[in-house]
A and B are shown apart, each in its own frame.
Chain A
Amino acid sequence: MSAVVRMLALLVLFRCGTAAATEVRTFQDPAQQQRYEQLVKDLRCLVCQNQSLADSDADLARDLRDEVYQILQSGKSDQEAVKFLVDRYGDFVLYRPPFNLMTLLLWISPLLLLFAGLAFIWRRSKQQNPAMAAELTASEQERLQQLRKTTQQQ
């Protein structure tokens, strides 16, 4: 119960929420509009960290959307808009983290896990093969024949 109350208090405190009525920003050029909309979807709001700039209703998100809008309006590229935010907030604002030394493990861990899994399976199959392929001894063969006979008779 108290956890719920705390959660609510936090939400109020940081003014998180979904931007049900995100302001409408219009561009002359529909291509630019699309770039803007894609950009704000790929950038993280720092106040409500699991929301993108497009989704967040936090004050800061609105201000940052404004910055992105101004940058694009002034004819600059997407990279420049992203750089503006990364310079100030670090790689953390990117929902698609860049590939560098800091994020190396993040990027290659799926591959590492895949190889570890394959290696495991490969080793297991090698271990079991000799046991399965082992020849039966003469007495074992005889017993096998007997067993076959008895089951056929039934």
Chain B
Amino acid sequence: MRLKFLIPLSVFALLLVLLGVGLKLDPREVPSPFIGKPAPPFALPTVHAAAQTLSSGEFQGQVSLLNVWASWCVSCRQEHPLLLQLSKTGLVPIYGLNYKDERPAALAWLDRFGDPYRASAFDADGKTGIDWGVYGVPETFVIDRKGIIRYKFTGPLTEEALEKKLLPLVRTLQEEAS
């Protein structure tokens, strides 16, 4: 009976914990319905050559990253050095999806900041972006050998996310089927 005063106190503590956890959650991070599903098919001209196509068939047979970027996207510039660094290590091929951009601007951007992509698909009207559930550029997808999306990172990549999440996953996926 004496401990009765603990009841409202514990309710308050519970509320505090709930609100605290809520603060830590990122509401911008929407779980992607694509995890574990095949990459939505596309066939688009590349940024570099309108006559060349990059299609989702590229993802078959190798673990790859697909990075959604645009020259108008400020946070893409922020993550760009990391992608360049990663492309130099040759650990995993990076493909680009150039989202709602203009070709000259995209080319100038790659010229100026460097091109980490094996190829970039040119998605001028953003339809492929919508098919992939893109809502905030940059986004990075990890795709396994069978062309199945295994992970999605929304927002500019950080060294921490790369080291702790993406690269370990890439390694396990690479080992999985070899």
* Chain A interfacial positions (CB closer than 8 Å to B): 13-14, 46-47, 49, 59-60, 63-64, 67, 86-90, 92
> In the bound complex, how far is the Cα of B99 from the Cα of A63, in angstroms?
13
Given A87-B33, A90-B30, A90-B33, do A47 and B130 touch, yes or no (CB 8 Å)?
no
Given A59-B100, A63-B126, do A92 and B31 touch, yes or no (CB 8 Å)?
yes
B129 to chain A, nearest CB (A): 8
Given A13-B74, A47-B135, A63-B126, do A90 and B28 touch, yes or no (CB 8 Å)?
no
In contact, A46 and B136 (Cβ under 8 angstroms): yes
* Chain B interfacial positions (CB closer than 8 Å to A): 27-28, 30-33, 74-75, 100, 125-126, 130-133, 135-136
Residues on B with beta carbons closer than 8 Å to the beta carbon of A60:
126, 130, 135
> In the bound complex, how far is the Cα of B134 from the Cα of A59, in angstroms?
12
A112 to chain B, nearest CB (A): 14
A86 to chain B, nearest CB (A): 7
For A88, give its contact among B31, B126, B133, B136 (CB under 8 Å): B133
Q: Interface SS of chain B: helix, strand, loop or mixed? A: loop
Closest A residue to B132 by CB, please name it. Answer: A88
In contact, A89 and B135 (Cβ under 8 angstroms): yes
> In the bound complex, how far is the Cα of B136 from the Cα of A92, in angstroms?
15
Residues on A with beta carbons closer than 8 Å to the beta carbon of B133:
88-90
Name the residue in A60, A86, A90 with the highest tally of chain B Cβ atoms < 10 Å from its Cβ: A60
Residues on A with beta carbons closer than 8 Å to the beta carbon of B27:
49
B170 to chain A, nearest CB (A): 24
Query: 13 A–B contact pairs at CB < 8 A?
Result: A13-B75, A14-B136, A46-B136, A49-B27, A60-B126, A88-B130, A88-B131, A88-B132, A88-B133, A89-B30, A89-B135, A90-B31, A92-B31
Closest B residue to A58 by CB, please name it. Answer: B135
In contact, B100 and A92 (Cβ under 8 angstroms): no
Closest B residue to A47 by CB, please name it. Answer: B135
> In the bound complex, how far is the Cα of B154 from the Cα of A47, in angstroms?
12
In contact, B132 and A92 (Cβ under 8 angstroms): no
Going nearest first, the 7 A-B pairs with the smallest beta carbon separation are A46-B135, A88-B133, A90-B33, A92-B30, A89-B133, A63-B126, A60-B135
